Structure 1
Amino acid sequence: MENNKTFSFEDAFKAALKYFGGDELAARVWVNKYAMKDSFGAIYEQSPVDMHWRISNEIARIENKYKNPMSAQEVFELLDHFRYIVPAGSPMTGIGNNHQVASLSNCFVIGLDGDADSYGAIMRVDEEQVQLMKRRGGVGHDLSHIRPKGSPVNNSALTSTGLVPFMERYSNSTREVAQDGRRGALMLSVSIKHPDSEAFIDAKMEEGKVTGANVSVKLDDEFMKAAVSDKPYMQQWPINAETPKFKKEISARKLWEKIVHNAWKSAEPGVLFWDTILKESIPDCYADLGFRTVSTNPCGEIPLCPYDSCRLLSINLYSYVDHPFTKNAKFNFDKFKKHVQFAQRLMDDIVDLEMEKIDLIMKKIADDPQSDEVKGSEYNLWKKIQRKSGMGRRTGVGITAEGDMLAAMGLRYGTQEATDFSVIVHKTLAINAYRSSVDMAKERGAFEVYDAKREEKNPFVNRIKDADPELYSDMVKFGRRNIACLTIAPTGTTSLMTQTTSGIEPVFMPVYKRRRKVNPNDTDVHVDFVDEVGDSFEEYIVYHRKFIEWMKVNGYDTEKKYSQEEIDDLVAKSPYYKATANDVDWLMKVKMQGAIQKWVDHSISVTVNLPNDVDENLVNRLYVEAWKSGCKGCTIYRDGSRAGVMISVSKKDKKESGHAEGADVQEDQPKGHPCEQPEVTEVRPKELECDVVRFQNNKEKWVAFVGLLKGYPYEIFTGLQDDEEGIILPKNIIKGKIIKSTNEDGSHRYDFQFENKRGYKTTVEGLSEKFNPEYWNYAKLISGVLRYRMPIDHVLKLVASLQLKDESINTWKNGVERALKKYIVDGTKANGQKCPVCGHETLVYQEGCLICTNCGASRCG
């Protein structure tokens, strides 16, 4: 019987905090992201114990359909405390959750056959992408089928616009889809052979463009050889045609240098070594049956054919090290082999659970009140996914905690010794996952189109054959339950709950500093940092959880307040020394990825972290080495090229540390710190989030539209409300977005778009046209200083100093001040301004008003 008892956030957080041993971040992540909720946000689980029993009971229900079923207790013991087997986010939140109708799949790829470059086909892919994202799936699709810019088309446009406008379309659609408080995830790819591939590679270099997608370029061996040897390369469209409609010869070296430069500059595009992917892919042995790989999921670890999907699961490698961080440390291969086989079995059960979820999705669509014309395309989309998933029963068994496993074994990540050991672990994983899939084929039947003859020349299958001839013999005889089994994904927030390093990555930092925003007026608050917007922050030291374990095992006091020198000394004595994301030998990391890739039938998501001062030549060397080492893809990240979440603790820091508490925060690849002043963005994004601020001056009703970039005011428009020549806006609208477009004469227009309660999008056109020229010039001046990140209190001083004779414009000026005051943090001093009552320079901003801290006088302007 389903339990309908609900819990408050506080109750669930308290129970989860106890479960995670006081780890606040892990507890918060679990409650926010993984506790079972309904569509209104009501929480139905008090701690991860409830979640793991929910999952265990559902898997046991599926197990009972087959021979030799596992019990719910056996499954629970594998899941409990995230110790051994950890389902990925979509299965973890969706299994047994009848409050929301969502897929259990993490990854989808879509794409139409036939005349797929028609406008109708392009729009259909856009619709399918959104339909999948609203069910919690990450989506990838390839753009190589779209005809290049300038190609003739049979419509009024006469020639094609090329790839980039459609990249923007798909990106914008992604940003519009909310997935339980997060945006959708999209991968766009294109073949280097496509004549527009250079425009694709450059598209994300303009700030604000294609912000809703990851982009990767598919590189064939011919291009790589031409780039390395500086030979010409022929592009064509269609890319696979024997008699293409369009061809052009390019310098492979120059285009390669652009790829390298852009990756160095912005971490994109990622590169996919496409010939390696196709050659190694077992599903591509069935390409003529619909399994031809065309793109990857957003993080690149699952190359997929159109309308196939994959569910993911990770095995916590740290938990198989007996006596970690001691001289007696040993990897328990017997337990590991047994659990890998269980993991593959659980993954196959989750395929069955996904089939049930798709049935529910299709039933919901069928029962929806819309017309068949509206809902038919979504219904058919899921029908195609159900068919492809059922044919191949694809799974994604992966790992997490590779970095911690190596450290616990006394091995330094990035050394040849550590790499050799990792390869043994992943080879063991591959053989036992395939053994489990073959055993399930005996009991449950092979995947529908299995044909040993088709696979006999596949390099991965032949590695299995050489490593375990008996397994291969059984596979030929009985088949395999799953068309492909393995991956290594970026475990992200999941690793916060395993309290380990993420995926295959090394530890980012064993000890690092975080900042949390504080109110400087509170008692016992120590302010270490004030940003230019006026926000105050306290800094504190966080220790990676397994680093704390190393400290305990080796007799170090985890409650002591260590100086920076003592922390540096501790790290130097630990197995994490010179083994962090920024320390490891970068070429060695790429070689390690290539060596492990030999035992992963899908792909590996891994990022090579580089310090800020490396040159582009190093990126070139890394990418070439990745190709030569047999990697299927590669992503680099140069420190500071994107915003992110951490700062390092270095000897330059003068503050002493706190005691050893907190958790490793590797929710995503670390990329800078959000508390640092945002970079100036000179090229205005096409769309900006927008706040609407209403105010009244001299009995007139005014409205201000404040365009926000990363939460910071970037531009402002104001005007009279409800006047014949003013701005007509419903009373309840407070948010929307400002969209910039270019008129035929080259001038710009700015429109405000919002969504009403019924979901209809409405647009207020031409915000700049609501100003007379003088208003507009002042607005451009103020927007200009906002764009260049002048602190808001200084912007207000600038506005106040404007000498305006026209009384109506002075009224407007007051309105602008009032609108911008919303973005001043309470407590910011109004430097240079004296209190009109007591005469002291003791004015601070509080809730948009100037308050005198000396006499208490208040003035709101």
Structure 2
Amino acid sequence: MAEKSYTFDEAYNATLNYFEGDELAAKVWVNKYALKDALGNIYEKTPVDMHWRLANEIARIEKKYENGLTAQELYDLFDRFKYIVPQGSPMTGIGNNYQIASLSNCFVIGLDGEADSYGAIIRIDEEQVQLMKRRGGVGHDLSHIRPKGSPVKNSALTSTGLVPFMERYSNSTREVAQDGRRGALMLSVSIKHPDSESFIDAKMEQGKVTGANISVKIDDDFMKAVVDNTQYTQQYPVDSKNPKTTKDIDANDLWKKIVHNAWRSAEPGVLFWDTIIRESVPDCYADLGFRTVSTNPCGEIPLCPYDSCRLLAINLYSYVVNPFSDEAYFDFELFKKHVGLAQRIMDDIIDLEMEKIELILKKVDEDPESEEVKNTERHLWEKIRKKTLQGRRTGVGITAEGDMIAAMGLRYGTDDATAFAEEVQRTLALAAYRSSVEMAKERGAFEIFDFEREKNNPFINRLGEADPALVKDMEKYGRRNIACLTIAPTGTTSLMTQSTSGIEPVFLPVYKRRRKVNPNDKDVRVDFVDENGDSWEEYIVFHHKFVTWMEQKGYSTTKRYSNEEIDKLVEASPYYKATSNDVDWLQKVKMQGRMQKWVDHSISVTINLPADVSEDLVNKLYVEAWKSGCKGCTVYRDGSRAGVLVAASEEDKKKSEKSEDCGDCYERPLVVPQRPRELDADVIKFQNNKEKWIAFIGLLDGRPYEIFTGIADDEEGLMLPKNVNHGTIIKTYNDEGERSYDFQFKNKRGYKTTIEGLNDKFNPEFWNYAKLISGVLRYGMPIDQVVKLVQGLELNSETINTWKNGVERALKKYLPNETEAKGQKCPVCGLETLIYQEGCMKCTNCGASKCG
């Protein structure tokens, strides 16, 4: 019997109800995590179906072992993302028979021995692509490549150095990245490498190495040289006792460049490599193939070549009993129990990953290509299979720490909040390692476990000081997993848990929405009446955890609040002064260092800074991170990357409010996720491949909010009068509750004409992609970045690429004049001097112009 499938609207509407009206969470789940086949058919209606899929598959593995968990017990842990939340790759891939993909979120690759040849460089390039096509993020290190100018035995005579190969690997990432989360890449290099300065500068040129994150591996000797203002010696090979090349540099000069570039463009990140290696439990087995060489793209998992990791997060907010009240407390006993189960689930997922790897190898064997072509991919997965089984590495992490802190009545960034967060992480570490020891009794230790190798490791000794019995049992029975813990960015999954991810401070959204009301109710204000006579009002929607706090403190959650009253409410809450720009950044770094003591891998966290901070502050943060015991650090200064986390100044906001054009396209508008019933709309007509096309752009405060576009087919009733350039898009529902979008305009005589069902007028594939673009617009992505996003879509058919070009042309109309077309060169003079002018691109150097 064929599996039941659902239309996008069926799944979206049911999931919207599941998430209690949260449109972004609903769209994220349907688009990224609902079970679907290669044709886009959807086989899960809501996250309930997904959680049963996960529970049934993991229960199947549990039956192999003693005291196995049942599917119901597992489902209760996953239900509504309340306690345990498997991350992207496991959530998508477990029980998914429609695609052959790994369950691992991240991989590191690298060849043993000498790897400085074109053969080795190209082999790594192919392995990177092979992993990315299976949904994995990849990291690898470039310290093995000869510095620029070194002699080589080929026709070039001298080496080109690191930078051209950075671009090669970046381009491969951009090539494979399509249809979901693929193509994340981390490139790293040792600060000791003579080309490290060129590596650090590589991304400063606009449009270069755009497909990779970059981080510098910094050793203690370099940091001491920075602090003491002394010389530092670079060499190649970087680990050689008899290097071929050495170079003495002023450590502070290079450090200032790292700080400046990070301040200016948010890269490079820094990896405090001696701290990573010194604390690493897997590096106790370095001679057996577990020598850490790089990290995954987000930096939270330092790995040896061909090892990988799957991720899972525990929702900390759910363990706060009586949240936001004077009686609030953290249920440590339930938390410890669930951490133990989470570690067990992670070990089960390794067994599921083995099944996935076998399927990948089977597919490779069955592929029609020659053995010569298939050999690299087969050997790659054989190496991954071996490393995964040898170490059984896991990545148990956390989410909603900011909400947990607020619910406990603490303020993020204070000493009390940091001490409490550290105690929670300490409890997690001990419970996870206890679970791994208990599993070793039942299931056996990881293949190469040897307590003698680990007994002097600082992390293991820290566990022993906190719980001597744990380490005694570990010595006796072993441990199931070589390493267990991380704190990763939970990304889109945090939208579904409706929580703050990782150890980031909280962000408290307040939305304005509209609802239909009874005009006879004297207690209800009527903001406007539509043409059908229906009455509507605007109302405020608070973050649901903030509503919990309001209820605990006796505030009404139904009364009408003014903006001033909302400000006072927020100031009285534990969320006040807990946003990124409010937090004491040095305190945040110290908090990261204190928590790092109880994380065997690493912590991925970005320090978000206002635009006006100095380079000196970035310097202090990086130095403090090293002194505090952090394994890595990344900063992001507001506006340092065009279109990312852009915040407007008050003066800019005032200017944009007065502007009648789209002067605020670069500002983050007020997010209105609940679409108003009516939106003003522009009609744009143009030609695509000699076909007449039409676009309807719904506008909110003059800014694009949604888009409908396709061929202007008169058989579908889309041939509008030539003079119709504006109108209204109206969201309606029929008697069966089905949603429709109607376009209404006035003719020359002032009579209204309505074209019903815009959503049914175009190719259904266009409609589904338009939902994604509209979702991005609705949540405030700057228009130039939306255009860039559309340009970068890798679509499979000529028809849909034609549609993509139509969307791009329609949206360009809303770019402010003089906007730079960043990363694009003039086809005539070859310079990056293009700007948008009335929706067309014009070169400010030679005057060439191009529309469309």
TM-score, structure 1 normalization: 0.76
Distance across 2 between alignment mates of 1:600 and 1:444: 24
1:26-425 maps to which residues of 2 (within 5 A)?
26-425=25-424
Change (3 A) 1:192 1:673: farther
SS state at 1:194 partner: coil
Distance across 2 between alignment mates of 1:145 and 1:657: 49
Change (3 A) 1:81 1:676: closer
Whether the 8 Å contact between 1:688 and 1:709 is mirrored in structure 2 is no
Whether the 8 Å contact between 1:227 and 1:252 is mirrored in structure 2 is yes
Change (3 A) 1:150 1:404: same
Distance across 1 between alignment mates of 2:637 and 2:381: 39
Distance across 2 between alignment mates of 1:322 and 1:649: 39
Whether the 8 Å contact between 2:340 and 2:435 is mirrored in structure 1 is yes
Whether the 8 Å contact between 2:596 and 2:602 is mirrored in structure 1 is yes
Aligned residue number for residue 616 of structure 1: 615
Structure 1 residue 182: Cα displacement? 4.0
Distance across 1 between alignment mates of 2:395 and 2:476: 24
Aligned residue number for residue 644 of structure 1: 644
Aligned residue number for residue 839 of structure 2: 792
Distance across 1 between alignment mates of 2:540 and 2:562: 11
Whether the 8 Å contact between 1:706 and 1:714 is mirrored in structure 2 is no
Distance across 1 between alignment mates of 2:406 and 2:649: 20
1:490-639 maps to which residues of 2 (within 5 A)?
490-511=489-510, 543-559=542-558, 562-639=561-638
2:838 partner amino acid? P
Once the two structures are superposed, what CA deviation does each residue of 1:273-325 show, in whole Å capped at 9, x if it has no partner?
A: 00000000000000000000000000000000000000000000000000001
Structure 1 residue 554: Cα displacement? 2.9
Change (3 A) 1:349 1:709: farther
Aligned residue number for residue 731 of structure 1: none
Structure 1 residue 251: Cα displacement? 0.6
1:715-730 maps to which residues of 2 (within 5 A)?
none
Whether the 8 Å contact between 2:361 and 2:381 is mirrored in structure 1 is yes
Aligned residue number for residue 8 of structure 1: 7
Once the two structures are superposed, what CA deviation does each residue of 1:314-346 show, in whole Å capped at 9, x if it has no partner?
A: 000000000001111110001000000000000
Structure 1 residue 228: Cα displacement? 1.3
1:623 partner amino acid? Y
Aligned residue number for residue 743 of structure 1: none
Structure 1 residue 579: Cα displacement? 1.0
Whether the 8 Å contact between 2:324 and 2:549 is mirrored in structure 1 is yes
1:123 partner amino acid? I
Distance across 1 between alignment mates of 2:498 and 2:792: 36
Change (3 A) 1:658 1:605: closer
Structure 1 residue 552: Cα displacement? 3.4
SS state at 1:12 partner: helix
Distance across 2 between alignment mates of 1:512 and 1:651: 23
**Larger deviation, residues 200-209 vs 558-567:** 558-567
Distance across 2 between alignment mates of 1:559 and 1:260: 49
Aligned residue number for residue 849 of structure 1: none
Once the two structures are superposed, what CA deviation does each residue of 1:578-601 show, in whole Å capped at 9, x if it has no partner?
A: 111111100000000000000000
Change (3 A) 1:5 1:362: same
Distance across 1 between alignment mates of 2:583 and 2:268: 23
1:644 partner amino acid? V
Aligned residue number for residue 458 of structure 1: 457
1:37 partner amino acid? K
Aligned residue number for residue 526 of structure 2: none
Distance across 2 between alignment mates of 1:105 and 1:794: 42
1:789 partner amino acid? Y
1:469-484 maps to which residues of 2 (within 5 A)?
469-484=468-483
Unaligned runs of 5+ in 1: 515-522, 526-538, 663-669, 695-704, 716-736, 741-747, 751-767, 769-775, 803-812, 823-861
Whether the 8 Å contact between 1:561 and 1:657 is mirrored in structure 2 is no
Whether the 8 Å contact between 1:688 and 1:738 is mirrored in structure 2 is no
SS state at 1:788 partner: strand
SS state at 1:217 partner: strand
Whether the 8 Å contact between 2:813 and 2:838 is mirrored in structure 1 is no
2:563 partner amino acid? Q
Structure 1 residue 556: Cα displacement? 3.5
Distance across 2 between alignment mates of 1:577 and 1:496: 21
Once the two structures are superposed, what CA deviation does each residue of 1:205-228 show, in whole Å capped at 9, x if it has no partner?
A: 111000000000000000000011
Distance across 2 between alignment mates of 1:180 and 1:127: 20
Structure 1 residue 645: Cα displacement? 5.3
Structure 1 residue 447: Cα displacement? 0.1
Change (3 A) 1:130 1:447: same
Distance across 2 between alignment mates of 1:489 and 1:467: 24
Whether the 8 Å contact between 1:603 and 1:632 is mirrored in structure 2 is yes
Whether the 8 Å contact between 1:689 and 1:708 is mirrored in structure 2 is no
**Larger deviation, residues 646-655 vs 260-269:** 646-655
SS state at 2:836 partner: coil
1:790 partner amino acid? Q
Structure 1 residue 790: Cα displacement? 3.1
Whether the 8 Å contact between 1:202 and 1:262 is mirrored in structure 2 is yes
Change (3 A) 1:676 1:28: closer
% identical aligned pairs: 67
1:404 partner amino acid? D
2:81 partner amino acid? F
2:296 partner amino acid? N
Whether the 8 Å contact between 2:314 and 2:398 is mirrored in structure 1 is yes
Distance across 1 between alignment mates of 2:809 and 2:299: 28
Whether the 8 Å contact between 1:560 and 1:659 is mirrored in structure 2 is no
Structure 1 residue 635: Cα displacement? 0.7
Once the two structures are superposed, what CA deviation does each residue of 1:713-733 show, in whole Å capped at 9, x if it has no partner?
A: 999xxxxxxxxxxxxxxxxxx
Whether the 8 Å contact between 1:394 and 1:485 is mirrored in structure 2 is yes
Whether the 8 Å contact between 1:314 and 1:400 is mirrored in structure 2 is yes
Query: How many equivalent residue pairs?
Result: 703
1:692-707 maps to which residues of 2 (within 5 A)?
none
Distance across 2 between alignment mates of 1:739 and 1:590: 34
Whether the 8 Å contact between 1:6 and 1:44 is mirrored in structure 2 is yes
CA-based RMSD? 3.7
Once the two structures are superposed, what CA deviation does each residue of 1:475-530 show, in whole Å capped at 9, x if it has no partner?
A: 0000000000000000010100100011111113444799xxxxxxxx979xxxxx
**Larger deviation, residues 643-652 vs 389-398:** 643-652
Whether the 8 Å contact between 1:110 and 1:305 is mirrored in structure 2 is yes
Aligned residue number for residue 731 of structure 2: none
Structure 1 residue 41: Cα displacement? 1.5
Structure 1 residue 711: Cα displacement? 7.9
Aligned residue number for residue 750 of structure 2: none
Structure 1 residue 657: Cα displacement? 8.5
Aligned residue number for residue 438 of structure 1: 437
SS state at 2:267 partner: coil
Change (3 A) 1:30 1:688: closer
Aligned residue number for residue 520 of structure 2: none
Aligned residue number for residue 771 of structure 2: none
Whether the 8 Å contact between 2:485 and 2:600 is mirrored in structure 1 is yes
Structure 1 residue 449: Cα displacement? 0.3
Distance across 1 between alignment mates of 2:810 and 2:221: 41
Whether the 8 Å contact between 2:33 and 2:91 is mirrored in structure 1 is yes
TM-score, structure 2 normalization: 0.77
Once the two structures are superposed, what CA deviation does each residue of 1:242-280 show, in whole Å capped at 9, x if it has no partner?
A: 000111000100000000000000110000000000000
